[in-house]
Amino acid sequence: MPRPNAPSVVTTPELGSIYLNAQPHALTISDNLHTTYSFDREGRLLSCFVGGQNYRCGFCGEILLKATLAGGKLRRRLRPDERDDLLEAVHTAVTRLSTGLANYVPAEVHAWLATVLAWDAARHTHDRQTFQTIYKPVSIVPPDQYQAVVVQATEGCSWNRCSFCTFYRDRPFRIKTPTELRTHLHQIKAFLGRGLALRQAVFLGDANALIVPQPRLRELLAVLHDELPSATPGVPRKLYAFLDIFGGEHKTTAQYAELGAAGMRRIYLGLESGDATVFDLLNKPGSPAACIEVVRTIKASGINVGIILLAGPGGATLAHQHVTQSLAALAAMELTAGDLVYVSPLIVPADGPYAQQARALGLVPLDADGLASQLATLKVGAVAATAHRPKVALYHIEEWIY
């Protein structure tokens, strides 16, 4: 008999070999190694591998398909009809597995499967609607934070004018009051239920939560820790957030140290390009030099950073200076082992300000091979840019779903 926490295989004449891995917070079932499903303690489908394709499910109710094709990677959200078909197929498959496994698995696993089966079409629809009452669209978080609980202490982007970024165009920037944040946290806890246990870290949304003046931020973090205490008494839950480069009120090292004591572990900054011409083309606030300065201030407080570079801005025309100056900026930041560098291939919004400006300036865009080659050069160069070898990884904005 399989026990929770011990991966096991059950073989029956009707089902063949079913692999079960019941961890404290997630249940994974593999049907003869052809199809795999993972669920949280609420019975929510987290991800599945069906028909040779990988799917990741968001709390928002959408499903992301990720597949490797001959011509490269496919990443796209399922259409509503495709999503509903997939959810129905999973429900049918789990019904069959639950019946067939009834005499072979412990009561706890059987009860977990019953929780999964409570997710019928009506419940999915209700869940999607509830999500929209709690969250504004959760546009993006850094890849190492895909498993965090997102808490929208602020909404939107205080700048919202970068020429290439459309993430927050649908909402004005605003800071929640402590009362609003408490309500938001109550709603999140009720919504995630036992699924919350899978997510230990908190990502503070939206685009630049750390622009909040320190006294207000202090109040908001107190509410957050009150509502979401960590599993370890006396140790605050780990926090992560974006910061735009000029960072509003320019926090001091002492203020960052205070945030560090309140759980802040890493702050993510979109440098995008170390080259001043490319940076201006992107209409980022601040400057590469200001970004280097902010990074040094943050690191002096003991908090790590995540630096995001774009691959492709300025096209082939400005490629050399973009790469050279971006790697020089990284070197000047003196990153260390706890820091991260991400490289994000630029996805040019059709007819947005970036596309219009690039056209007006006659910039020749990079072709697919040129973009792949710049991405690789930036990744290799970023590792070499400092003696302390921060981790360097791809940041693909189409791979995110919450």
Contact set with ligand SAM (CB under 6 A)? 140, 157, 164-165, 167, 207-208, 242, 244, 269-270, 272, 308, 310, 344, 346-347, 349, 397
C-beta of residue 207 within 8 angstroms of C-beta of residue 244: yes
In this chain, which of 91, 167, 334, 355 binds ligand SF4, going by CB under 6 A? 167
Give whichever of 207 and 385 is closer to ligand SF4, judged by the CB atom. 207
Measured N-to-C along each axis, helices 288-300 and 253-261 cross at an angle, to the nearest 10 degrees, of: 50
C-beta of residue 151 within 8 angstroms of C-beta of residue 185: yes
Residue 278 binds ligand SF4, judged by CB under 6 A: no
Q: How far is the CB of 157 from ligand SF4 (least distance, A)?
A: 3
Q: How far is the CB of 80 from ligand SAM (least distance, A)?
A: 25
Residue 165 binds ligand SF4, judged by CB under 6 A: yes
Stretch in the footprint of ligand SF4 (CB under 6 A) among 52-60, 63-71, 162-170, 230-238: 162-170
Out of ligand SF4, ligand SAM, none, which partner does residue 160 contact, by CB within 5 to 8 A per kind? Answer: ligand SF4
Cα 400 to Cα 75: distance, rounded to the nearest angstrom: 10
H helix runs in 240-318, sequence order:
253-261, 276-282, 288-300
Q: How far is the CB of 295 from ligand SAM (least distance, A)?
A: 11
DSSP string, 154-223: EES-SS---TT--TTTTS--EE--HHHHHHHHHHHHHHHGGGGGG---EEEESS-GGGS-HHHHHHHHHH
Q: How far is the CB of 327 from ligand SAM (least distance, A)?
A: 16
Residue 159 binds ligand SF4, judged by CB under 6 A: yes
Cα 168 to Cα 174: distance, rounded to the nearest angstrom: 12
The secondary structure element, H or E, covering residue 226 is helix 214-227
Q: What is the rounded end-to-end Cα distance, in angstroms, of the chain?
A: 35
Applying the rule CB under 6 A, the residues between 305 and 324 that interact with ligand SF4 are: none
Q: Of 18, 33, 200, nearest to 109 (Cα)? A: 18
Give whichever of 155 and 244 is closer to ligand SF4, judged by the CB atom. 244
Applying the rule CB under 6 A, the residues between 188 and 227 that interact with ligand SF4 are: 207
Centre a 10 Å sphere on the Cβ of residue 316 and count the other Cβ atoms it contains: 15
SS3 state at 338: coil
Out of ligand SAM, ligand SF4, none, which partner does residue 386 contact, by CB within 5 to 8 A per kind? Answer: none
Out of ligand SF4, ligand SAM, none, which partner does residue 340 contact, by CB within 5 to 8 A per kind? Answer: none
Out of ligand SAM, ligand SF4, none, which partner does residue 326 contact, by CB within 5 to 8 A per kind? Answer: none
Q: How far is the CB of 103 from ligand SF4 (least distance, A)?
A: 54
Applying the rule CB under 6 A, the residues between 227 and 246 that interact with ligand SF4 are: 244
Q: Of 221, 249, 223, 225, nearest to 235 (Cα)? A: 225
C-beta of residue 21 within 8 angstroms of C-beta of residue 28: yes
C-beta of residue 326 within 8 angstroms of C-beta of residue 377: no
Q: What is the number of the residue whose Cβ is closest to ligand SAM?
A: 270
Give whichever of 2 and 314 is closer to ligand SAM, judged by the CB atom. 314
Give whichever of 46 and 165 is closer to ligand SAM, judged by the CB atom. 165
Q: How far is the CB of 245 from ligand SF4 (least distance, A)?
A: 8
Give whichever of 168 and 402 is closer to ligand SF4, judged by the CB atom. 168
Give whichever of 46 and 141 is closer to ligand SAM, judged by the CB atom. 141
C-beta of residue 325 within 8 angstroms of C-beta of residue 273: yes
Q: How far is the CB of 281 from ligand SAM (least distance, A)?
A: 13
In this chain, which of 10, 46, 63, 162 binds ligand SF4, going by CB under 6 A? 162
Beta bridge partners of 20: 8, 29
Q: Of 345, 342, 399, nearest to 47 (Cα)? A: 399
Q: How far is the CB of 241 from ligand SAM (least distance, A)?
A: 9
List residues binding ligand SF4 (CB under 6 A): 157, 159-160, 162, 165, 167-168, 207, 244, 270
